[in-house]
Structure 1
Amino acid sequence: MELRHLRYFRAIGREEHFGRAAIALRVAQPALTRQIRDLEAELGVELFERLPRGVRLSSAGRAFLHEVEEILSQVDRAVDRARRMGSGHLGTLRVGMSEIIAAYESISRGLLHFRENEPGVALDLRSMGSVLQIAALKDGALDVGIVYDAHIEERDAEGLERAKLGVGETMLAVHENHPLAARESVTMAEIAEQPVLGPARATARGYYDRLMAACVESGSAPDFVQQCTTNSILFSLVSVGMGVGLVTTAGSRAPVPNVRLVPIADLGLRFEVLLVWRALDRSAALRRFVDMMVQHAAGVLPPGGQAAAA
């Protein structure tokens, strides 16, 4: 028994007429008659009562038609699902997220746009630091991550594809009442005289090492009085006057009301914000996600989500 036998039977059962069913199926009536006789022979029952004009479903035929309708509906759903999966319109994407996204409105807009335009693809958003995202990508526990370039070690670079979403500049976070808060810029020598808050090397080794190398190159390495595992912690400590903080972010506004961000004139340290995924991942949904996020980052798609005019 093949699917075509079931489709032929359903058409005849609905029409209760071989001729009309043959026209609908675009199959020659003699061939259709043969197929139904073969099906009846295989089942060992008569599915139709032959009448002078047309046919009528037998009791066995009516019961069989009910089941066939269910079977073919499931087949159609399976075909549709497979096609949507293959074209990237269905599935689940596990997306790693850290505090990086808070500073980049285009990333948030991209996520929202994707959810609105691809309702068949669920975004499983997972909060984790950049280092943990890289490990999860390598282990197959994550499909795509959003990290600073400093977190990608040379040994991992070959197995990861990446796309640039933005750039973050390392600035000085100070309390609004701090003497440096009103300055247009500060120098590393001035920062060295302050109690400084910075990143924790244990959780962000690549980022920490690049930051320290840049500080040393400037000629004034800071004396960290506190290492912070997240930007939120750093900003919170700065907001209560625990010190000034070295932080990488986008724009000139801090996420905390009483904290100011001041450029560092002689540091010039920037980090690229990257979308990263496994090089061997050929998921169509992933490709759609990457394309949409990159377009938002480049300004090709405005907040409303429609393509910008050329």
Structure 2
Amino acid sequence: MRVTLKQLAYFQALAEEGNFGRAAARMHVTQPALSMQIKELELTLNANLVERRPRDIRLTRVGREVLARAGRILSETHELEAAARRQGLLGRLNLGVIPTVAPYLLPLVLTGLRGADLTRDLRVREAQTGQLLAALDAGQLDAVIIARPADAPDRTILPLFQDRFLLAGSATRLRGLAGVSEHLRPVTLDPEQLLLLDEGHCLADQALEVCALDRRQTRIDLGASSLSTLCGLVAQGFGLTFLPEIALRSEEAAAPEMRVLRFAAPEPAREIVIVRRAATTDDGWFAALAEVVRTAAAELLDHAQRVCPPPA
């Protein structure tokens, strides 16, 4: 009897979940089926891998070693599968995008890919940065589009574009700021007027950073999960929010009462990048995809700069 990839995947799930029931649910199998595979793995290796307790499990010393090796084997397997299904941009591509980019950029990116006949099977996952990077490292995604993370030796990063922040609010709220727009800076804003996205969204963290604020200093914190929600609120006079340039075209159409101002130079901005694993086979698909994304973003950025011209 030999060790199977299924057994390693089930064991990895059990180790990460710490419980047979949760691991079975994660792998979409019954608990007895998962337990049987773990038992067979232990018999094959002639070693106990877990200490079974009433409510959870604990890895043995051998179990910890097997888990480390299983992680490497499964990661390499994902890489093999990804390389086999992807030929340039002509095979399946699993792409992750953060929520403050996806709804604005993806429609144009998909149009560009189809127009150039670059891909037949693009699968997209929208999630927060931490979840996307975890899925990328696990081999579940081939690339992710996010705000620049910390550099890591096992990842390859290509810059895509600078996405400047605009200040969004109602005409009435912004009227008082228009006269000082040449000197308008994030740190001069009243923190009690700011509406922010829920914790975990990188855009909220970036907004707090450029304002030199702690989230606890904002009086109005609705924990909104989308920029569209925030734009609808500020358009009706409920505070101010930061709006990335790429979002302006869509959000001004959805909330026509909303107005925007530019900050004085140097304007606050985030750098949007595309990231892949350094070990991933690259026969040109990564650079080709990056160029399609840059072209799509340029259309949105040009619109934002026409509507709200940058400072001279």
The normalised TM-score by structure 2 is: 0.54
Larger of the two Rg values belongs to structure: 1
Give how far 1:86 is off. 7.1
Give secondary structure in 2 for the equivalent of 1:273.
strand
Distance 1:225 1:189, change over 3 A: same
Distance 2:176 2:102 in 1: 25
Unaligned runs of 5+ in 1: 1-82, 303-310
Distance 1:273 1:189, change over 3 A: closer
Question: Aligned pair 1:161/2:161, yes or no?
Answer: no
Contact 1:275 1:290 in 2 (8 A): no
Give how far 1:247 is off. 3.1
Distance 2:172 2:204 in 1: 28
Distance 1:174 1:251 in 2: 14
Give how far 1:267 is off. 6.9
Distance 1:132 1:173, change over 3 A: same
Cross-structure match for 1:212: 208
Distance 1:160 1:229 in 2: 28
Q: What does 1:262-281 align with in structure 2 at a 5 Å threshold? A: 262-265=261-264, 268-281=267-280
Cross-structure match for 2:93: 93
Q: How many residues are paired up?
A: 206
Unaligned runs of 5+ in 2: 1-82, 300-312
Distance 1:271 1:190, change over 3 A: closer
Question: Aligned pair 1:290/2:287, yes or no?
Answer: yes
Counterpart of 1:225 in structure 2: which amino acid?
A: I
Give how far 1:145 is off. 1.3
Cross-structure match for 1:174: 169
Cross-structure match for 1:246: 242
Q: What does 1:1-310 align with in structure 2 at a 5 Å threshold? A: 87-88=87-88, 90-97=90-97, 98-104=99-105, 108-118=107-117, 121-149=120-148, 152-154=149-151, 157-180=152-175, 183=178, 185=181, 186-188=184-186, 191-192=189-190, 195-200=193-198, 202-204=199-201, 207-216=203-212, 223-226=218-221, 227-250=223-246, 253=249, 254-255=251-252, 256-265=255-264, 268-284=267-283, 287-288=284-285, 290-294=287-291, 297=294
Counterpart of 1:92 in structure 2: which amino acid?
A: R
Counterpart of 1:234 in structure 2: which amino acid?
A: L
Distance 1:179 1:120 in 2: 44
Distance 1:250 1:225, change over 3 A: same
Percent pairwise identity: 19
The normalised TM-score by structure 1 is: 0.55
Give secondary structure in 2 for the equivalent of 1:112.
helix
Spell out, residue by residue over 1:137-192, the C-alpha distance to the aligned partner (whole angstroms, 9 max, x if none): 1121111111111xx245xx222212222111122110234343882723446521
Distance 1:88 1:210, change over 3 A: closer
